[in-house]
């Protein structure tokens, strides 16, 4: 019989103090798999406790993200090698087996016996009756010939740990070869990038100062006011440079959206779905805080993150408003057609973030996508009514799915004749990767960043403008 599995501070402290990283990882995985928790939140809680104890939990983190990333492949291999169905296992056994199989199949220099024995002991603690079953399954898996577990013999989607729903989207939009390259890139650890205020420091000086404070950084792959942190974020927020130079942890795709928006001094800007404030604060820094930004979000608690970030960065040009972006023009009729820039970073499937949000690999469904598409369009439709004649409308997502990206823009333009796309070549940083296809897309106002080409998250951006001389009825 299973015991009640909790994820509480006292139990985590005990495991971290005792360097029991495998059981710590088991608890985190259990809560993500069986309690629908988010991996970034469970690891954040554990990190906070570890920091207070002066401990590191790098092995637990690697197991957590590794197991979540490869779950689809792990489940396939378990069926292929042992003939057992993962979904039919007891939740404790399922979590323990998945974690152990990741160690055996993908872990570097982890003895199989250590992975098996620890999984059995953990199962004994949380569901004693299942321990014998876990032992049998894992022994069978570990003892199987390596050839039977060789991923090269299987279909591309299995090799890159993407279930058919996701891999099918990539194949449809990018073709078989590029879909596989995207999948491989999304298996790699996500690039951790941090924006800084270019009016306060240059990239070379910042890297030197961070190095002195024990933080390893290199230039971002294409954004000038950005560095990539190569040794992990631990300790970054405690550096003098972090607040001194207005640093903000953000993906380069999200940073590029602000470049394409191209804010100018005295602009009036509406940022829909703004939390936690990355783009609003970036645009404010680009204009030395000399503009007016209304940052909207439907979630009051997340909107507080925008306020907190503004306070930390010393920005006063940003006003926060709790509102539903899909109804924004109904709630603010006085501001219709008055904004120079309206930015819509809409809720999306997040398929460009699989490198740092591996939960999406398991949780993504077509039903969820069907709910997102009308919401995205509604936000874009309502927000467009706030753009002044001659003003700019930015539509962006962190996904790699044409139905959420190009096709949404195409539908919008077909029903909003007074909007048109504009070339974005002049807004792109010099270091960004460009090929013939991307040049054509940029000439048509769009760009899709790809993890294997741009060394960042997958991201889509489109710049549209409203006709100067016409009023929308």
By the 10 Å C-beta count (0-12 exposed, 13-18 middle, 19+ buried), 204 is classed as: exposed
Task: Tokens for 257, please give them.
Answer: 């959206």
The model's pLDDT over 122-161, given as tens digits with 9 standing for 90+, comes to 999 999 999 999 999 999 999 999 999 999 999 999 999 9
Phi and psi of 66, rounded to 5°? -65, -45
User: Does residue 344 carry a pLDDT above 90?
Assistant: yes
Judging by DSSP bridges, how do beta strands 318-322 and 446-449 pair with one another? Answer: unpaired
Q: Which residues contact 323 (CB under 8 A, 6 or more apart)?
A: 296, 297, 298, 331, 332
- What is the pLDDT at residue 28? 97
Query: Which region, left, alpha or beta, applies to residue 175 given φ > 0 means left and ψ of -120 to 50 means alpha?
Result: left
CA 218 to chain centroid, in Å, comes to: 21
Q: What are phi and psi of 213, to 5 degrees?
A: -95, 10
> What are the start and end residues of each CATH 3.30.70.1170 domain in the chain?
192-249
Burial 151-185 (b: 16+ CB within 10 A, else e): beeeebbbbbbbbeebbebbbebbeeeebbbbbeb
For 351-362, the DSSP string reads: GGGTTT-THHHH
Confidence of residue 186 (pLDDT cuts 50, 70, 90): very high
pLDDT exceeds cutoff 70 at 471: no
CA neighbor of 325 nearest in space, from 370, 385, 264, 255 = 385
Phi and psi angles of residue 463, each rounded to the nearest 5 degrees, phi first: -110, 125
Run of H or E including 413: helix 406-415
C-alpha separations of 71 from 141, 363, 367, 439 in Å: 16, 11, 21, 37
* pTM of the full structure: 0.94
Q: Where in the chain is the domain with CATH 3.40.50.150?
A: 252-466
Give the C-alpha separation, 397 to 257, whole Å: 10
The domain made up of 192-249 is a member of CATH 3.40.50.620: no
Alpha-carbon gap, residue 34 to 77, rounded angstroms:
21
For the chain, helix (H) and strand (E) counts, in that order, are 21, 12
pLDDT value for 78: 98
The answer to whether residue 397 scores a pLDDT higher than 70 is: yes
Tell me what pLDDT residue 113 has.
96
CA distances from 164 to 157, 291, 435, 442 (A): 7, 46, 29, 30
**Per-residue pLDDT at 473 exceeds 70:** no
The CATH superfamily holding the domain 9-154 is NusB-like (1.10.940.10)
By the 8 A CB rule, do 227 and 194 touch? yes
Give residue-wise pLDDT tens across range 201-211. Answer: 999 999 999 99
Interval 225-268: pLDDT, tens: 999 999 878 789 999 999 999 999 999 999 999 999 999 999 99
Torsion 151-156-162-165 (CA) sign: negative
The vertex-366 CA angle with 365 and 368, nearest 5°, equals 70
The pLDDT of residue 117: 97
Please count the residues of the chain. 473
Q: What is the pLDDT of residue 172?
A: 98
Residue 427 tokens, joined:
């807004």
Contact 393, 419 (CB under 8 A): yes
Q: What is the DSSP string of 260-313?
A: HH---TT-EEEEET-TT-HHHHHHHHHTTT-SEEEEEES-HHHHHHHHHHHHHH
List phi, psi (to 5°) of 228.
Answer: -100, 130
Residues 6 or more apart whose CB falls under 8 angstroms from that of 457 comprise 190, 191, 251, 252, 253, 254, 352, 353, 355, 356, 398, 449, 451
Q: What is the mean pLDDT of residues 58-82?
A: 97
The residues facing 367 across adjacent strands are none
pLDDT category of residue 335 using cuts at 50, 70 and 90: low
In this structure, the dihedral spanned by the alpha carbons of residues 88, 92, 96 and 97, taken in order and rounded to 10 degrees, is -10
Q: Are 408 and 462 in contact (CB under 8 A)?
A: no
Q: Please, which pLDDT band fits residue 362 given cuts at 50, 70 and 90? A: very high
Confidence of residue 472 (pLDDT cuts 50, 70, 90): very low
Structurally, at CATH architecture level, domain 252-466 sits in 3-Layer(aba) Sandwich (3.40)
Candidate ranges 9-18, 52-61, 400-409; pick with highest mean pLDDT: 400-409
Q: Is the pLDDT of residue 425 over 80?
A: yes
pLDDT tens digit sequence for 275-330: 999 999 999 999 999 999 999 999 999 999 999 999 999 999 999 999 999 887 65
Cα distance between residue 111 and residue 103, in whole Å:
8
Axis-axis angle for helices 58-69, 21-34 (nearest 10): 30
Residues 117, 123, 125, 129: is their CA dihedral positive or negative?
negative
Mean pLDDT for all residues in the chain: 95
Q: How confident is the model at residue 6 (pLDDT cuts 50, 70, 90)?
A: confident
pLDDT band at 334, cuts 50/70/90?
Answer: low
* Sequence ranges of the chain with CATH classification 1.10.940.10: 9-154
């Amino acid at each position: 019989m299973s015991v009640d599995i909790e994820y509480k501070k006292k139990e985590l402290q005990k495991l971290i103090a005792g360097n029991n990283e495998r059981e710590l990882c088991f608890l985190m995985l259990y809560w993500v798999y069986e309690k629908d928790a988010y991996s970034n939140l469970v690891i954040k809680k554990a990190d906070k406790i570890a920091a207070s104890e002066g401990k590191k939990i790098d092995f637990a983190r690697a197991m957590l993200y590794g197991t979540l990333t490869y779950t689809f492949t792990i489940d396939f291999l378990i069926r292929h090698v042992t003939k057992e169905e993962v979904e039919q296992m007891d939740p404790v056994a399922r979590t323990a087996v998945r974690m152990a199989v990741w160690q055996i199949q993908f872990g570097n220099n982890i003895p199989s016996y250590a992975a098996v024995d620890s999984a059995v002991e953990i199962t004994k603690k949380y569901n004693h009756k299942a321990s014998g079953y876990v032992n049998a399954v894992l022994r069978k898996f570990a003892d199987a010939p390596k050839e039977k577990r060789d991923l090269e013999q299987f279909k591309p989607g299995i090799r890159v740990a993407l279930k058919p729903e996701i891999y099918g989207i990539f194949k449809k939009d990018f073709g078989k070869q590029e879909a596989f390259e995207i999948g491989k890139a999304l298996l790699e650890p996500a690039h951790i990038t941090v924006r800084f205020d270019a009016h306060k420091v240059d990239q070379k000086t910042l890297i030197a100062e961070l190095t002195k404070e024990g933080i390893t950084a290199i230039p971002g792959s294409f954004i000038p006011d950005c560095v990539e942190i190569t040794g992990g974020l631990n300790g970054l927020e405690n550096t003098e440079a972090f607040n001194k130079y207005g640093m903000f942890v953000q993906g380069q795709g999200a940073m590029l959206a602000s470049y394409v928006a191209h804010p100018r001094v005295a602009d009036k800007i509406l940022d829909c779905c703004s939390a936690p404030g990355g783009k609003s604060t970036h645009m404010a820094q680009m204009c030395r805080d000399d503009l007016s930004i209304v940052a909207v979000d439907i979630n009051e608690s997340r909107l507080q993150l925008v306020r907190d970030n503004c306070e930390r960065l010393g920005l006063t040009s940003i006003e926060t408003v709790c509102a539903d972006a899909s109804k924004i023009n109904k709630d603010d009729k006085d501001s219709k057609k008055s904004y120079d820039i309206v930015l819509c970073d809409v809720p999306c499937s997040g398929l460009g973030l699989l490198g740092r949000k591996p939960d999406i690999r398991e949780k993504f469904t077509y039903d969820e996508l069907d709910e997102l598409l009308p919401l995205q369009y509604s936000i874009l439709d309502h927000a467009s009514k706030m753009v002044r004649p001659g003003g700019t409308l930015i539509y962006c997502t962190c996904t790699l799915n044409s139905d959420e990206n190009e096709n949404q823009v195409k539908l919008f333009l077909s029903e909003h004749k007074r909007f048109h796309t504009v070339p974005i070549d002049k807004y792109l940083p010099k270091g960004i990767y460009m090929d013939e296809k991307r040049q054509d897309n940029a000439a048509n106002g769009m760009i899709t960043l790809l993890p294997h080409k741009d060394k960042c998250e997958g991201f889509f951006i489109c710049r549209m403008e409203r006709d100067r001389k016409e009023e929308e009825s």
